[in-house]
Structure 1
Amino acid sequence: MDDFKGDVDKESCSKSINETVNGSHQFTIKGYSLAKGMGAGRCIPSDVFNVGGYDWAIYFYPDGKNPEDSSMYVSVFIALASEGTDVRALFELTLVDQSGKGKHKVHSHFDRALESGPYSLKYRGSMWGYKRFFRRTTLETSDYLKDDCLIMNCTVGVVRTRLEGPKQYSISVPPSDMGRGFKELLESESGCDIDFQNCLAKVLPQLEAYVHDSSCCVTRKNKKNSEGFRHLEESCPSMLCELLKTLASGDENSSLLSGRKRSGSSLLGVDLADGAPAESANPNGRRLRRRF
């Protein structure tokens, strides 16, 4: 049986990460005794603080939140003070022991997070806390009240869920400087594997006889009999074609003999015969300085 050679699907993965963004706020109430008698349902709010992108506030009810409790308890709540829908969070309220013994009164939602999960606040003004946070008569005789002052710490942990997929890596590619590289290479002539000077040096002597021909015509027969032309034809065919076209045209203004001005006055740096600029007479009696 032939081996199965079907396409194999690429594997993919993702990860959902649930975590809390935590923040704390300390709320101090000075002149507690003056706050009593406000009436049930009336509160002293803390300043607004931000945790996890949401605003929060602590509400302290010195006469309790519920009228039916007849001011027997103080109430404490944490409220969502900004717009939000179904904001899930964990809370902790701590009434600080001011005696230095460290016996703080702690009500924590963090401790039972695995049991009941985070608390969900549906809209702005939603609260989490305790209507019967502390019996008032007991509070007023405890170490939590000192110099008519109460201190409460509040911790909020906003639950966030983020999706993590395969990490994408990117490499910054610098702009190309190939043009500058080619320019430097041509100027330095380092690493060249074609030597046009050596190539043409073998056929310049051969072209001398043809240059003296006033008609500037080169026959196919003479070309074939020239060893230099055979070498040029095999090694530099495109250059040969250009030379033949120029020589056959008889136009001394466009021919390679009037040439481009270059350092060394030669064809790609090579003189026709002995390395020096050569001169000859044209049919009109004027002397021509031959350059390629």
Structure 2
Amino acid sequence: MNSRPDSGGPPSKYAPFEALREQAVTLRRAGLSRRQIRDRLHLDNNDILNRLLRGEPAPEWTRRPNAKDESREKARALRLQGLTYDQIQVEVGCSKSSISLWVRDLPQPDRSRTREEASAIARRGWEATLRAREELRQATRRSAAEEIGALSDRELLIAGACLYWAEGAKSKPHRRQERVTFVNSDPDMIRVFLRWLDLLGVEPARRRFAVQIHESADVPAAERFWAALVGVDHGALQKTTLKKHNPRTNRKNTGETYRGCLRVHVLQGAELYRRIEGWWYGIVWEGDTNGPLSRPASPPSPMV
């Protein structure tokens, strides 16, 4: 039962190692993967396979498509210079888990350093990780923004109706007030809302603006900011509403970047409010899995 390696059966344990290595190297240079070579030679011991293929590079096709080859080579070169994982992370910008996989076969560096040096290295490594995360975050945001592209009028109509019903003033059963008033602290939300009013044909003359802000803030600066954002003179703003300041507050919206909220009110907006309400319930009914028979004859009164 001393079958030969090239006969298709399992190799004899007495087969010369060099002959077996010659076959393994030939298969490797022919472009076979480690698994393919192991199956072809009927090997079940990875240690033996490692010895047979020692010094033979892997075929190009077996490399992972997303492998960071340049970062890997740089990390290995830095490790050979005696740098630690933390130091390599600062230079390469990869996670320490990846660096560990890339350099685990290389000798460990001298770890004789002070606690202050170790802390500084770890801090720089963490800063590099945060930078990499922020780059990934920004790339994701850019990609998602490109998925939206240009909005059609219908898409903007739906987006604006959802935006208003989430953030705008709504009539309540105990207080019937059909008016269009939108308050928000996010300048981008205000911009989108104004674009929506443009789409609906609400003339600038029907729009009124007022700032709502804590009394401890820089009120004049906030008024100038919001006036410039909506394109009106500072004097065109209505009287600012000041919120009483609590010295023991834990709120985070303080400092130079705090500008309060802007209130946008549409004059003679009762009819527009009813249309907004109708658009919203049109969206709700469209996703109603119970079918049109379950819909009320008219939109229900909002309870929020």
TM value normalised by structure 2: 0.19
Question: Which structure ranks higher in relative contact order (CA pairs < 8 Å, sequence separation ≥ 6)?
Answer: 1
Greater fraction of residues in strand: 1
Greater fraction of residues in helix: 2
Larger radius of gyration: 1
TM value normalised by structure 1: 0.20
